[in-house]
Chain A
Amino acid sequence: MKNFRNFIRALTAVVRKDMAAEWRSRELFTAMLVFALLVILIFNFALELDARARASITSGVLWVTFAFAGTLGLNRSMAIEKDRGCLDGLLLAPVDRSAIYFGKAISNLVFMFVVEIVVLPVYSVLYNINLVNPQLLLVIFLGSIGYVAVGTLLSTMAVQARTRDILLPILLFPLVVPVLIAAVKASGGILQDFAWEEIQGWVNLLIVYDVIFIAIAFMFFDFVVEE
């Protein structure tokens, strides 16, 4: 019980620290948001689409936007830890290191959700398509968890390399392909008004991937951060 309390205390300390630092600098959020808005704007001008085509490609454009903006956020989030040696400071704390992983993952997830909350209405206006749909929000929620779970682990690994900026996407994208495919298929089905039974398989796949990725990260984080 005491161990669990210590775990939660360390986890919340990391999340509160990340939120406070980001509230001051707004560095990470601004970069992610501007990048996400630019991507959807470019797609909007690049693709002249009728209403039916819009519904079918929206999910792809949406997840490409989230994935690219997410990578930017993951990279920056760990770079902040590395710049002044703070990652060592975290690892020197007498806590279960998975608490550090979950703390960073929750912070990254919050940043990603905030960007998604802003991007969705902008996208709705630009593409004239209603994205405020509880089922779609559920898929975005599940997809973002899977993306951040594996992304936080890999960004911790990549940040220790000299080529961290290019290393993260190279490591991350092949591993999150299952999450992205499931999320795109489920989101596309919802936007094209498919029956829930047709979409449910993809949603279940997302849940399974989330659980697997979280479990893997929980098991391997200690090895990833140790020299």
Chain B
Amino acid sequence: MITVKKLVKRFGPKTVLRGLDFDVEAGEFVALLGPNGAGKTTFLRILSSLSRPAMGEVRVAGYQLPNQAAAVRRRLGVVSHLPLLYGDLTAEENLRFYGRMYAVESLDERIAEVLEIVGLYPRRRDLVRTFSRGMQQRLAIGRAVLHDPEVMLFDEPHTGLDQEACNMLDGVLQEVAAKGRTVVMTSHDLARTADLASRFDVLSKGKIIDSATREQVTPNDLLAFYRGALAK
């Protein structure tokens, strides 16, 4: 579903990604772990067509980036630590706007369905700026799944959430993954990642330096695996 070969990204003189290779099968949930500045967000921005690679090959859902960016974007849902929502619009209006941008059919029914999934149907007519951070993040997931994408990218979705909001978010994430979507999620929170992902890749200094499946690394061993990968 996602194939990346020898990806290089530079910002001026600084090289952020250095010949990164990455493959994800359909239906996999890959957690991308790594320290700050490893290039996780840059990598997700390239996968989501928001950033152009300097070199290398990137294919998402069979389409090449950046040449077939519109086709990739149609099949992609993105959630970042920012909600990508308008505070002066209601939850329903935000979803209606994005639904129009993605040409979602039977939009009213789909909006109602998505608001039920993320548990915000009773608050559908409230302005997003009145929502708590956790509610905004749940609505952000609703926005990302509105057009029923095949691939979902999550960039540190737990950032800034309290314990309860994190638990609710995990429930929604599990529901999203259970639909057979391909998911790539960056995170610093190893404990939460351990419960969600089916594969763990460690990104450091612009490259994937280690990888393990859920069968190879139990949740209890994940921290040791992560530290070991970084120490190599």
Contacts and interface: CB of A to CB of B under 8 A. Distances in A.
A88 interface: yes
A93 interface: yes
A94 B74 contact: yes
B98 A84 contact: no
A215 interface: no
B27 interface: no
Contacts, number: 77
A126 interface: no
A106 B45 CA distance: 28
Interface in B66-104: 70-71, 73-74, 76, 78, 80, 82-89, 93, 97-98, 100-103
B51 interface: yes
A153 B127 CA distance: 29
Contact of B50 (A6, A10, A91): A91
B50 A84 contact: no
Contacts of A92: 48-50, 73, 76, 78, 84
A157 B93 CA distance: 27
A86 B85 contact: yes
A227 interface: yes
Nearest to B100: A13
Nearest to A26: B88
B86 A17 contact: yes
Interface residues of B, number: 30
Contacts of B82: 84-85, 88
Contacts of A85: 80, 82-84
Interface in A64-103: 80, 84-86, 88-96
A94 B85 contact: no
B143 interface: yes
Contacts of A162: none
B52 interface: yes
Contacts of B87: 84
Chain A, interface size category, equals 20 to 34
Contact of B89 (A20, A90, A94, A96): A20
A94 B73 contact: yes
Given A21-B89, A24-B127, A227-B52, A95 B101 contact: yes
A17 B101 CA distance: 11
Contacts of B70: 94-96
B17 to A, nearest CB: 12
Interface string B59-71: 0000000000011
Interface centre among A17, A20, A22, A92, by most chain B C-beta atoms within 10 angstroms, is A92
Interface in A10-26: 10, 12-13, 16-17, 20-22, 24-25
Nearest to B81: A85
A162 B187 CA distance: 26
A85 B100 CA distance: 19
A10 B70 CA distance: 13
A94 B48 contact: no
A21 B86 contact: yes
A90 B101 CA distance: 8
Interface in B135-156: 143
Contacts of A22: 88
A84 B52 contact: no
Nearest to B83: A84
Leading 4 A-B pairs by shortest Cβ distance:
A85-B82, A89-B84, A13-B100, A93-B101
12 contacts: A9-B100, A17-B97, A24-B127, A84-B82, A89-B85, A89-B98, A90-B101, A92-B48, A92-B76, A93-B101, A226-B50, A226-B52
Interface of A: 6, 9-10, 12-13, 16-17, 20-22, 24-25, 80, 84-86, 88-96, 226-227
Given A25-B88, A85-B83, 9 more contacts: A21-B86, A22-B88, A80-B86, A84-B82, A84-B83, A85-B80, A89-B84, A92-B78, A93-B102
